Structure 1
Amino acid sequence: MYAISLGDDGAELRPLEPWHAEEFLAHLERGREFIGQYIPFGSGATDVASARAALQKYADQRAADTGSLHGLWLDGKLVGGVLFLNFDAERGNCEVGCWLEPAAAGRGLVTRAARVLVDWAVEERGMHRVEWIAAAANEPSLNVARRLGMRREGVLRQSYPHRGVRHDLEVWAVLAEEWRGRQGA
Structure 2
Amino acid sequence: MLPDVLPDAAIDLGGGVVLALRDSGTVDEMLRLTERNLDRLREWEGWAHGDQTRAGMVEYTEWNLAAWRGGTVAPMVIRVGGVPVGSISLRLEEDRRVAEIGWWIDGEWEGRGLVTRAAEALVELARRSDRIDVVQARIGLGNVRSRRVAERLGMSVERTLPGALQVGAVRHDAALYVLDVATAHQGDSSEEFDMSDISDV
Q: Normalised by the size of structure 2, how large is the TM-score?
A: 0.81
Matched, 1:64 2:70: yes
In 2: Cα distance, 1:41 partner to 1:76 partner:
26
**Equivalent in 27, 31, 37 of residue 25 of structure 1:** 31
Rounded to whole Å, the distance in 1 between the matches of 2:134 and 2:53 is 36
Tell me if the contact between 1:44 and 1:50 (Cα under 8 Å) persists in the aligned partners.
Answer: no
Measure how far apart 1:40 and its partner are. Answer: 2.8
Contact residue 129 and residue 173 of structure 1 kept, 8 A: yes
Partner Cα distance (1:70, 1:125) in 2: 21
- Is it true that 1:103 corresponds to 2:111 in the alignment? no
Counterpart of 2:155, as a letter, is M
Q: Distance in 2 between matches of 1:12 and 1:106?
A: 17
Greater relative contact order, per chain length (Cα 8 Å cut-off, separation 6+): 2
1:39 aligned partner:
45
CA gap of 1:57–1:140, structure 2 versus 1, over 3 A, is: same
Secondary structure class of the residue paired with 1:19: helix
Inter-CA distance 140–67: structure 2 relative to 1 (3 Å threshold): same
- Which structure dedicates a bigger proportion of its chain to helix? 1
**Structure 1 residue aligned with 2:157, among 143, 152, 155?**
152
CA distance in 1, matches of 2:183, 2:39: 36
Q: How does 1:119-130 map to 2 (within 5 A)?
A: 119-130=124-135
- C-alpha deviation, 1:160, in angstroms: 2.1
What displacement does 1:158 show?
Answer: 2.0
Q: Distance in 2 between matches of 1:171 and 1:156?
A: 7
Partner in structure 2 of residue 14 of structure 1: 20
Alignment pair present for 1:92 and 2:100: no
Q: Distance between the aligned counterparts of 1:14 and 1:159, measured in 2? A: 30
| C-alpha distance in 2 between matches for 1:117 and 1:41 | 22
Q: Report the residue type matching 1:159 in the other structure.
A: A
SS in 1 for 2:176: strand
- Give the deviation of 1:60 after TM superposition: 1.4
Q: Flag structure 2 segments of 5+ consecutive residues without an equivalent.
A: 1-7, 186-201
Q: CA deviation at 1:54?
A: 1.2
Q: Is this contact kept in 2: 1:42–1:54, CA < 8 A? A: no
Aligned to 1:176: 181
Q: Percent identity?
A: 26
Question: Compared with structure 1, are the counterparts of its residues 42 and 54 closer, same or farther at alpha carbon in structure 2 (3 Å cutoff)?
Answer: farther
Distance 1:177 1:54, change over 3 A: closer
1:119 to 1:72, Cα distance in 2 relative to 1, 3 A:
same
Specify whether residues 44 and 63 from structure 1 end up closer, same or farther in structure 2 by C-alpha distance, changes over 3 A only: farther
Moved beyond 3 Å, runs of 4+: 41-45, 177-180
Counterpart residue identity of residue 55, structure 1 = T
